[in-house]
Amino acid sequence: MFHRMNFILVLALGCSSALAAEPGYQPGFHPDQLKGPPAGTPNRVLVLGSPHLAELSTRFEPEHIEPLLLRLAAWRPDAIAIEAVPGLQCDFMRRSSSRYADSVDSYCVDTAPAERATGLDVPAANAEAERLLAAWPAAPSPAQRRHLAAILLAAGERHSALVQWLRLPANERIAADGLDDALAAYLSSQSQRRGESTAIAAVLAARLGLERVWAVDDHTADSPTPDHERTAAARALGLAWDNEDVRARAAADVPLYANLREPGGMLALYRAYNAPSSAMVAYRGDFGAALREPSAEAYGRRYLGYWETRNLRMVANIRDVLARKPGTRMLALVGASHKGYYEAYLHQMHDVQLVDSSDVLR
């Protein structure tokens, strides 16, 4: 009896293992294989995975980014997407504070000063910015740029406001035309920040003659962890992330970070973060580990659900921008852990062709 029960247990385990490995239903429709050719120039997207430069700001100077900027400028994107929450989404989250209060504090800028200066709340300012840009002249005056910058700040689009500020001659970066002293000082301070959305995206947009950048981040999948679960959830995820892949990734960063001030140091960092193997390294250490996290409350799978939803919505925002002007060449600048998901999801789109970042970063 003992041997028979053991046999049944082994058989059951074997069957459950086989079921776990079974891929399940496989659809016969593959959008990634149905890419046209389109009528006209295809949309091309270059996904550039980035470290969060604000965390490294004391390790480099703006001139160290120049080799990267030169290569990106040579590719000549005509749209740039960034990992920032759109003003309209921040406005929505503010109206649902019971769920999103922490997210608003973390990801949304206070638009009240710009609303007082312009008289426009976030929805009205977004509508006005769209109206102005639809009829934007080829050679706008400094006054027009300052006015648009003020409207964009009221719209919650601070990075696009910075683009307008940077496109002004230095002597025209003054408080006027809707920019009061506080707003002008804010934009001046933003121009000194070393995050990737400012030091790379906004600077590159201004250099290329673009009028804005596109905020495509999404935090509507955020929800607060209930108080009674916080300790257990943090412990479960901490255990999942205590693995060799995380340690190997951190060890590989040490020499890259140490050499940021050396010639080509920043370029070496971006080449490493965009290497073909980087997506699987991120998956194994983070999201794959979360998928296997064994808590009865499924904390890891809940985290993974948030992560996949966020990336799907970010890519949907990118696709929305591309549809505005088919034939767009877009640089999508995003935290490196998003890159694999961006590329996988974008590749499913009929009218999106991905660009190999290693070719651009040579």
Can you spell out the DSSP letters for 236-296?
Answer: HHHHHT-SHHHHHHHHHHHHHHHTTTSTTHHHHHHHHHTSTTHHHHHIIIIIHHHHT---T
The answer, yes or no, to whether residue 68 has pLDDT greater than 90, is yes
In a domain, 223, yes or no: no
Q: Which pLDDT score is estimated for 6? A: 40
Cβ-based neighbours of 137, under 8 Å, separated by 6 or more: 144
Q: Which pLDDT score is estimated for 53? A: 97
In a domain, 172, yes or no: yes
In a domain, 63, yes or no: no
In a domain, 166, yes or no: yes
In a domain, 58, yes or no: no
195-218 per-position pLDDT tens digit: 999 999 999 999 999 999 999 999
Number of compact structural domains in the chain = 1
Q: Max Cα separation, the chain? A: 91
In a domain, 344, yes or no: no
In a domain, 345, yes or no: no
Pair 83, 333: CB distance under 8 Å: yes
289-318 per-position pLDDT tens digit: 999 999 999 999 999 999 999 999 999 999
The answer, yes or no, to whether residue 255 has pLDDT greater than 50, is yes
Pair 347, 340: CB distance under 8 Å: no
101-122 per-position pLDDT tens digit: 999 999 999 999 999 999 999 9
3-state secondary structure at position 89: helix
Position 35 confidence tier, pLDDT thresholds 50, 70, 90: very high
Position 20 confidence tier, pLDDT thresholds 50, 70, 90: low
pTM equals 0.93
Cβ-based neighbours of 196, under 8 Å, separated by 6 or more: 50, 51, 52, 53, 82, 83, 333
Please name the helix (run of DSSP H) or strand (run of DSSP E) that holds residue 45, with its range, or none: strand 44-50
Q: Which pLDDT score is estimated for 21? A: 58
Name the residue range of residue 145's domain: 84-215
Q: What is the separation, in whole angstroms, between the first and last Cα of the chain?
A: 67
Q: Which pLDDT score is estimated for 23? A: 78
In angstroms, the Cα distances linking 321 to 3, 162, 273, 313, 341 are 64, 20, 25, 13, 18
In a domain, 164, yes or no: yes
